[in-house]
Amino acid sequence: MPFANRVLVPLLCIGLAVSAAACAKKAAETPSTPAAQLSVTGLDLGRSVGGDKRVSEKVSDFHPNDVIYASVLTSGASQNAILRARWTFEDGQLVNESEQTIAPSGDAATEFHVSKPDGWPVGKYKVEVFLNGNPAQAKDFQVK
Amino acid sequence: MIPLALALLPSKPRRTLAYTGLGCRHDTKPQAGCTMGLFGGKDDKKNKPKPDFSNVQSGSSSTAPGPAASAGRTYVVQKGDSLSKIAKREYGNANDWPKIFEANRDIIKDPDLIHPGQTLKIPSA
């Protein structure tokens, strides 16, 4: 065997082996199914919620003496996420704002509810939902 | 003569200059303690008092656990404790003791036998 072959062939083999090992290590380090990032997938309004925190009947028109529920559906996981519901009246007058801190490991539902003992003024309202401070979903409704 | 179609159109609210204020007559004659102001049109809508939402009550709940619950709490067993007593203290219901037992199978072999000083994991309710 010529000198070049005696030296180059083993070097080439070593190089290939190192490359293959590096690729294998990289593959092992990459998680096959990364945890899905938390996102808001739905926002429903209603007059009541069940044990699953979802509204029993979706409505967008309420009566002055109703308790108004907003059910926020989320998907994905998080160890610490803040959902905020902001309720406003007509030209943006703040009605109420509240937060719920959650640590879901999968699909979840979070309900926010508001009531007014002396009755809601008739008019147009809006509820906006924020996830970690970022606008996620919004819905308009009316009190008639 | 005004055409019929034009006569049926809703008239635009007119804004008139007149004296304003509590107890003032709404006319253009000078009145003591009254000031001139605009009536009608958009100005009346702007002056509409805003509703008071200070007594709105609110609440929230979720199917997802809170961060503290998911992180898991612990409890150090005291003399005289039982799983039922701990469940009553942690969850408000003594019948929830199996939750604590299941979460601590690795250190509790018999649910009737726990020892002071043992650190138990308290799962979320």
CATH number at residue A45: 2.60.40.10
* A69 and A102 part of one domain: yes
User: A70 to chain B: nearest residue by CA?
Assistant: B60
* A54 and A18 part of one domain: no
**pLDDT of B46:** 58
Q: Does B73 or A41 have the greater pLDDT score?
A: A41
* A99 and A122 part of one domain: yes
B51·A111 Cβ contact <8 A: no
For B70-122, which CATH class? alpha beta
User: B52 to chain A: nearest residue by CA?
Assistant: A95
* A71 and A137 part of one domain: yes
* A95 and A26 part of one domain: no
Q: Name the helix (H) or strand (E) containing B61.
A: strand B57-62
* A26 and A43 part of one domain: no
Residues of chain A with pLDDT under 50: 13, 16-34
A30 to chain B, any CB pair closer than 8 A? The answer is no
Rounded (to 5) percent helix, strand, coil in chain B: 25, 20, 55
A111·B66 Cβ contact <8 A: no
ipTM confidence: 0.75
Tokens representing B94 are 């003594």
Q: How far apart are CA B99 and CA B122, in angstroms?
A: 8
**pLDDT of B9:** 47
SS3 A9: helix
With a cut of 90, say whether residue B53 has pLDDT above it. yes
Average pLDDT over residues B53-60: 93
* A66 and A128 part of one domain: yes
A119 Ramachandran zone, left/alpha/beta (phi>0; psi -120 to 50): left
Q: Which residue of A104, A113, A121 is in closest CB contact with B58?
A: A113
A103·B70 Cβ contact <8 A: yes
With a cut of 70, say whether residue B12 has pLDDT above it. no
**pLDDT of B89:** 84
Q: How far apart are CA A130 and CA A134, in angstroms?
A: 5
B62·A111 Cβ contact <8 A: yes
B67·A80 Cβ contact <8 A: yes
Å between B24 CA and nearest CA of chain A:
30
Interface test with A, best of B46, B48, B56, B70 (most A CBs within 10 A): B56
Check: CB of residue A70 under 8 Å from CB of residue A127.
yes
* A69 and A139 part of one domain: yes
- Residue with tokens 């902001």, as numbered in its chain: A86
Q: Name the residue ranges covered by the structural domains of chain B.
A: 14-46, 70-122
A108 to chain B, any CB pair closer than 8 A? The answer is yes
Sorting pLDDT into bands at 50, 70 and 90, what band is B7? Answer: very low
Among positive and negative, which fits the CA dihedral B72, B73, B74, B79?
negative
Domain that holds residue A45: 39-143
Q: How far apart are CA A125 and CA A19, in angstroms?
A: 62
* A45 and A104 part of one domain: yes
B61·A100 Cβ contact <8 A: yes
Burial class (CB in 10 A: 0-12, 13-18, 19+), A96: buried
* A25 and A43 part of one domain: no
Sorting pLDDT into bands at 50, 70 and 90, what band is B17? Answer: low
Q: What does the DSSP 8-state code read for residue A36?
A: P
Percent of chain B residues topping a pLDDT of 70: 58
Number of structural domains, chain A? Answer: 2
* A81 and A135 part of one domain: yes
Mean pLDDT score across all residues of chain B = 72
- pTM of the predicted model, to two decimals? 0.55
Å between B123 CA and nearest CA of chain A:
14
* A19 and A63 part of one domain: no
